[in-house]
Amino acid sequence: MSDEEKSSTAGIVELANDFIIIQPYKKRSKKSWLVPLSLLIIIGIVIWIYYEWKSPLISIILESRLTVAENVVLGMPFFLDDETIAYSKSMESGGVVLAIKQLSPAGRRFFTKPISKAEYLQPSLSLSESQIFVFTLLKYNTPRIYSVTQDGMVQALAQGEWASFSNDGKKIAFQKEKNGKSEIWIMNYDGSEQNSTGISGQHPEFSPTDDKLVFDSKGKKGISYIQIIDIYDSPYIPKILTSDKDNCMYPSFSPDGRIILFYKKGDGLWAMRSNGSKQQRILKSGKSEIVMGRISPDGKIIAVCSNKGKIDIYKVKYKKIRSRSPKIDIEKLIEYIDSIEN
Q: What is the pLDDT of residues 298-319, one digit of tens each?
A: 999 999 999 999 999 999 999 8
Does the pLDDT at position 262 exceed 90? yes
What value does the mean pLDDT take over residues 271-286? 94
Domain spanning 61-338: CATH superfamily: TolB, C-terminal domain (2.120.10.30)
Kindly state the helix (H) or strand (E) to which residue 8 belongs, with its residue range.
Answer: helix 3-8
With a CB cutoff of 8 Å and minimum separation 6, the contacts of 29 are none
Binned at pLDDT 50, 70 and 90, residue 34 comes out as confident
Q: What was the pLDDT predicted at 13? A: 47
Q: What was the pLDDT predicted at 159? A: 97
Global pTM reads 0.84
Q: Give CA–CA dist 79/76, Å, rounded.
A: 10
Q: What was the pLDDT predicted at 186? A: 97
271 strand-pairing partners: 261, 280
Tabulate helix, strand, coil % of the chain (nearest 5).
Answer: 10, 45, 45
pLDDT in tens, 70-120: 999 999 999 999 999 999 999 988 889 999 999 998 899 999 999 888 999
DSSP string, 318-329: -------PPP--
291 strand-pairing partners: 306
Lowest mean pLDDT among 22-26, 70-74, 267-271, 276-280: 22-26
Q: Give CA–CA dist 285/329, Å, rounded.
A: 36
Q: Give CA–CA dist 187/90, Å, rounded.
A: 30
Helix (H, G, I), strand (E, B) or coil at 84: strand
Kindly state the helix (H) or strand (E) to which residue 46 belongs, with its residue range.
Answer: helix 34-54
